[in-house]
Amino acid sequence: MTVTAPRPRVVSWPLLRPWLAVAARLGLAAVWFAAGGSKVGDLAGSGRAVNAYQVMPYDLAMVVGAALPFVELALGVLLLVGLATRLAAGVSAALLVVFVAGIVSAWTRGLAIDCGCFGGGGELAAGQSPTYLPEILRDLGFLALAGFLLIWPRTPVSMDGWLTGTPATEDEDE
């Protein structure tokens, strides 16, 4: 009599991918809620954080800083409910590329600033060191989530699937 070990269960990519996309969608939504929510109560502070990068005139930086929390919160809502997921992922990716470029720019120009990504921001006090590399790596991780959703935007439990009547499937070619 021969005894064989049981075969390990292997989860296939077509079954796993939609649920990874749900996790990416909800994770990115949480990031935008945290970022926008931390800034929406201090729009002037958000403007000062944008101005600290020294890449645009003061008045424009203040407008961008005041608008940014609302854009982030809107992206969070769209991703949370799964509505216009590919569009929200594309805007997220674009914003994250701009954020990474801004941090790299500040770093290469020798500015000592707090990125202001989750509130606060602006010039650091004397003796404080910026933490640019962890900020860049964090944003690149968020960019990977957005990229995943750009490729595979259709997810279970989303308004996109409900409105079209076509839930995410394993043979999706979107």
Give per-residue pLDDT as tens, 119-131: 888 888 888 899 9
Q: Amino acid identity of 41?
A: G
Question: Phi/psi at 104 (nearest 5 deg)?
Answer: -60, -40
Please give the structure tokens belonging to residue 9.
Answer: 């269960």
When the pLDDT of each residue in the chain is averaged and rounded to a whole number, the result is 91
What's the pLDDT at 80? 97
pLDDT in tens, 55-94: 999 999 999 999 999 999 999 999 999 999 999 999 999 9
Q: Where are the beta strands (DSSP E) in the chain?
A: 113-114, 122-123
* Residue 6: Cβ within 10 Å count: 5
Residue 29 · residue 76 · CB < 8 Å: yes
- 41, 103, 49: which is closest to 73 by C-alpha? 41
If you search the block for the tokens 């796993």, which residue do you land on? Answer: 16
The answer to whether 143 and 96 have CB atoms below 8 angstroms apart is yes
